[in-house]
Amino acid sequence: TATLTVPECIVESENTLSNEESGKSVSTGDVLRDRVVTVCDDIFPSEYTVPARAGSTDYCLRIQVESGGEIFLDASDPGCSRFNAEGTFDGVPRSTYVRTDPGGVAVYVGSYHWSINLKQDISLSEATFDINIASASKTFTATLTVPKCVVEAPSQQPSAAPSSVPSLL
């Protein structure tokens, strides 16, 4: 039996490991594989443009996970090929961000109702989006998996104080 101490997150592998109390040890019958996925309670950057498939139809979605954010749908760019090639996105807003619930579930309402599980998988090089459940009532459950939950923005502060000695260059 393998034991893993998980600080304030949920880890998924071949077996699902859950830690609801910080620092609690969690056991699994199998050795964990290389791919470890954790829950994102916060996410930055907060905007992702990703391909999505609902049924047999491909779309390009822009998902904003922040106050005032929305989900935009671009039906004219299946798979986001134009966005990836040119940076062009012609999506229209379909849902408005309401909140992120504990456990990293972003909730949206509007023309479509979404519950999006926010996950981190450090083995990824770009974000992925999977629609888990789509219903005729336009209610969706999905997973947005990003390489890193929070990417630190560059500091606006200089790394060293200015010098009073002129440079010789």
Count Cβ atoms below 10 Å from residue 118 Cβ, excluding itself. 22
pTM: 0.70
| Across 53-74, average pLDDT | 94
| Across 17-46, average pLDDT | 57
Residue in the block written with tokens 């004219």: 76
What is the C-alpha separation between 107 and 96, in angstroms, rounded?
8
- Chain segment 78-119, per-residue pLDDT in tens: 999 999 999 999 999 999 999 999 999 999 999 999 999 999
Kindly state the percentage of the chain with pLDDT values over 90.
Answer: 56
**In the 8-state DSSP scheme, what is residue 86?**
H
What is the C-alpha separation between 55 and 77, in angstroms, rounded?
16
Label residue 103 left, alpha or beta by phi (over 0 means left) and psi (-120 to 50 means alpha): left
